[in-house]
Amino acid sequence: MNLKKFVRSIPNYPKKGILFRDITSLIEDSNAFSYVLKKMHKISEKIKHNKIVGIESRGFIFASALAYLNKKPLVLIRKKNKLPGKKISQKFNLEYGTDTIEVHKSSLNKNDKVIVIDDLIATGGTAIASAKLVEKCKANVVAFIFLIDLYDLQGNRKLKSKNYKTFKLIDFPGH
């Protein structure tokens, strides 16, 4: 199945100069969405893990389904001040400033083996911060799975240079 035809490209969103890759049309198509979940599930079955981590917000769409299919706990990485319990934080740089992500302290344990799921990898800032957050909990990132890799923005390459296993289903240029 050609998944690219289900991803809309929206120029100048959310700001001028950005070419936004919109997955809404993909998840609204039951056949395309089912196909993506089957592909991600097939990848995840080959990786020894005991938890699935989803990155806010669109990563939750795929991570929750994979946690269900794999019969594994789902761990949420959220933006700052979205989790009510005791949490661990990780600050990271964006093109235009900084941001912070968090996870509940009780969600990850020493030696957990996690697969981190997100819809898209661009510059890698959020993915690398997520890995650092998981590692602060003494857990291990065994792989990342992305729907889309914006390959010319080098995020996937940065993860691989840090020896993380990465998988993606679609490649697009970022510009």
Q: Check whether 91 has a pLDDT greater than 90.
A: yes
Give the model confidence (pLDDT) of 27-75 as tens digits: 999 999 999 999 999 999 999 999 999 999 999 999 999 999 999 999 9
Output 83-89 pairs: Cβ under 8 A, ≥24 positions apart: 88/133, 88/136, 88/137, 89/133
Q: Check whether 95 has a pLDDT greater than 70.
A: no
User: Domain 48-172 is of which CATH architecture?
Assistant: 3-Layer(aba) Sandwich (3.40)
For the chain, give the mean pLDDT: 95
Is pLDDT larger for residue 48 or for residue 13?
48
Confidence tier at 15 by pLDDT (50, 70, 90): confident
Among residues of the chain, what percentage have pLDDT more than 90? 91
Give the model confidence (pLDDT) of 103-120 as tens digits: 999 999 999 999 999 999
**CA–CA distance, 40 with 117 (Å, rounded to integer):** 9
Q: Which residues of 89-102 are buried (b: 16+ CB within 10 A; e: fewer)?
A: ebebeeeeeeeebb
What CA dihedral angle connects 70, 135, 123 and 20, to 10 degrees?
40
Question: What was the pLDDT predicted at 46?
Answer: 98
Give the model confidence (pLDDT) of 139-156 as tens digits: 999 999 999 999 999 999
Beta carbons within 10 angstroms of residue 132's beta carbon = 16
